[in-house]
Amino acid sequence: MTPKVLVITGPTATGKTELGARLCERLGGEVVSADSMQVYKYMDIGTAKPSVEEMRGVPHYMLSVVSPFEAYSVSRYVEEAGRCVDGILSRGKLPVIVGGTGLYIESLVLGRSFATGGGEIGRRAEIERKYDELGGEEMLRLLSEKDPDRAAKLHPNDKKRIVRAFELAENGESISEHDRKSKELPPRYDAKYIVLGYEAREDLYAGIDRRVDGMLAAGLLDEVRSLAQMGLSEECTAMQAIGYKECLRYLKGEESLDEAACNVKRGSRRYAKRQISWCSRYSDALRINWKKFPDFTTALHDSTEFFAER
């Protein structure tokens, strides 16, 4: 029998953390975070990482597990989060996957494997030099001869993925073929989805604005300043997170604090739109849409009944 898990997802600032902890209290669960930025250490305020109080005594995994100087990947997340989920199951508890990074959630639930061919540093450097010499357009044209499906999905400026696709194609398997085989496998977990949101988009945006204001009041600028003093540059993946890149521009004198705050809010709203679009694929999900503010008492009741209907 496929192991059962519960997933709580939805756009940013919709109460996923609180509902997840409350459901774990009621259902005997433990939380596995599915947030691509909460995996980084020293990044607490800007990623809305749950505090000890917000965890409500419930064990949480996949928080602060990697240095912000590292580039974390979905393949690594699937491996490490999968061990956490399996450990929870082995203890007779319910894994509750909570977060808004859709690709992480989907890959974990499906048990998606990732192509591992290639990887020779010398050959990779050669392909990178070739990209620099020929340009993205020509490299995509050459890639289309080896892996047309993958080439059609890439932008000429996406050097990293183009180089990776060349590596794998030269080792006898295209990424497209690998992905096709992976998708034919049965899912690793039997997941039920709860998607949080708001009935009115303007109320979602108001919640996002409140969260950003709260982050700034809680010391987001000091957090970003500390990361910069550690030597974390704007080129690092972690520093590209919404809230961090904007505050860094303020600290460098490139924009005012008001401009930075507005840009964080704007970036968060755009991200929320992408999350809403991603969540539309969950046709069998329980959708809880708040009115002006979250009603966790009702949501807890409805979520418990929904999970019991298996």
Asked, for residue 11, whether it belongs to a domain, the answer is yes
* In the predicted structure, residue 121 carries a pLDDT above the cut 60: no
More confident call, 177 vs 127: 127
Structural contact between residues 40 and 227, judged by C-beta atoms closer than 8 angstroms? no
Q: Which amino acid is at 6?
A: L
Residue 23: domain span: 4-111+185-308
Mark whether 53 and 154 lie in a shared domain.
no
Statement to judge: residues 107 and 127 lie in one domain: no
> Residues 56, 25: contact at Cβ < 8 Å?
yes
pLDDT in the model for residue 175: 59
CA-based nearest residue to 271, from 205, 215, 200, 217: 205
Q: Kindly indicate the confidence band of residue 172, based on its pLDDT and cuts at 50, 70 and 90.
A: low
Is the same domain home to 147 and 261? no
Predicted structure pTM score: 0.83
Burial class (CB in 10 A: 0-12, 13-18, 19+), 105: buried
- Partners of 191 in the beta sheet? 5
Q: What does the pLDDT look like over 40-96, one tens digit per residue?
A: 999 999 999 999 999 999 999 999 999 999 988 888 999 999 999 999 999 999 999
Q: Cite the DSSP H helix spans in the chain.
A: 16-27, 52-55, 74-90, 102-110, 121-134, 136-146, 148-153, 159-170, 175-183, 201-218, 220-229, 244-251, 257-279, 296-308
What is the tally of structural domains in the chain? 2
**Same-domain pairing of 99 and 191:** yes
Classified as helix, coil or strand, 251 is helix
pLDDT at 158: 84
For the chain, state the CA radius of gyration.
21
Taking alpha carbons only, the member of 172, 165, 187, 202 closest to residue 291 is 202
Residues 175 and 157 placed together within one structural domain of the fold: yes
* CATH number of the domain encompassing residue 164: 1.10.20.140
If asked whether residues 99 and 234 sit together in one domain, one would say yes
Distance CA 172, CA 167 (A): 9
**Shared domain check, 210 and 75:** yes
Name residue, tokens 């705050």. Answer: 261
Scored b (16 or more CB within 10 A) or e, 185-207 reads eeebbebbbbbbbbeeeebbbeb
Quick one: which of 159, 210, 183 has its CA closest to 109?
183
Tens of pLDDT along 4-41?
999 999 999 999 999 999 999 999 999 999 999 999 99
C-alpha span between 231 and 233 (Å, rounded): 6
Same domain, 204 and 177: no
Q: How far apart are the C-alpha atoms of 211 and 271, rounded to whole Å? A: 14
Cα separation of 46 and 53, whole Å?
17
pLDDT at 150 over 90: no
Q: Identify the band that residue 117 occupies on the pLDDT scale cut at 50, 70 and 90.
A: very low
d(CA 218, CA 210): 12
pLDDT at 149: 80
